[in-house]
Amino acid sequence: MSTSSRNPAVPTPPLRLFSFAAPSRFYALTGWLVPLCWVVALGFAAVGLYMGFFVAPTDATQGDSYRIIFIHVPAAWMSMLLYLVMAFWAAIGWAFNARLASMVAQSIAPTGAMFTFLALWTGSLWGKPTWGTYWVWDARLTTELILLFLYLGYIALVNAIDDRRRADQASALLAVVGSINVPIIYFSVQWWNTLHQGATVSLTAAPKMADTMLTAMLLMTVACWAYAFAVVFMRTRAQIIEREAHAGWVAGLARGRITP
């Protein structure tokens, strides 16, 4: 048979990043990403905690009490960054009626609230030996507390509205408006006379800590990011199954015809 008589093969469309906006593809991708994220999170956390608590030198001023920064600082960073990521995806879901983006935003909120609470709690424990009290109405602490209330308000609003589309839109508005609090938290130590110390790590200046301390803190930050990816992916996958229960691919998944 001549080559000209053959049916040309149908080209496979290229796989692009936005291809994973489809819940079925996102579900399949995250199915193998979640275990990888857990391995990275546990591995980096183990090494980071070991370096922070057993290898890093004792601080000349604060003694060993400073070691809480290896949990406190990554948690504080994550609390702010996750809120901005949550607000971004909520806005994308609102503007383009992208249901997966809204699901991702709603999956981020509990993890962001957890990191915010952890930052406040460890900060209070650090404040007792440093300031002599667990809490002061400092600008940085107060705005971080407001951030926790914004997370909780977002979660409450999502669950208070039965209509999914209206819940996505209303919660997105709250997330976007509340994002103004994040730069206020970050710059509060510069704008006001505050007890909270300034940034120890900056993109524009040399670190104000020993290399071992910085390495341990960065390892813990990577661990926190990997943990956040793992739990947000897991939560989003659960939402996909719940909200896409009518889709044929979900029924096929339930019957074992589709690999997760």
In sequence order, the β-bridge partners of residue 63 are 59
CA angle 134, 137, 139 (to 5 degrees): 120
**Sequence letter at residue 204:** T
pLDDT tens-place values along the chain, 260 residues long? 444 444 444 444 454 545 457 888 899 899 999 999 999 999 999 999 999 999 999 887 888 888 999 999 999 999 999 999 999 999 999 999 999 999 999 999 999 999 999 999 999 998 888 878 888 888 889 999 999 999 999 999 999 999 999 999 999 999 999 999 999 998 887 776 665 665 666 545 556 678 899 999 999 999 999 999 999 999 999 999 888 767 666 666 656 655 45
- Helices 181-191/139-160 angle, 10° precision: 170
Instruction: Check: CB of residue 82 under 8 Å from CB of residue 139.
Output: no
Distance, in Å, from the CA atom of 233 to the CA atom of 103, rounded to the nearest integer, reads 10
Give the pTM.
0.86
Domain locations along the chain: 43-254
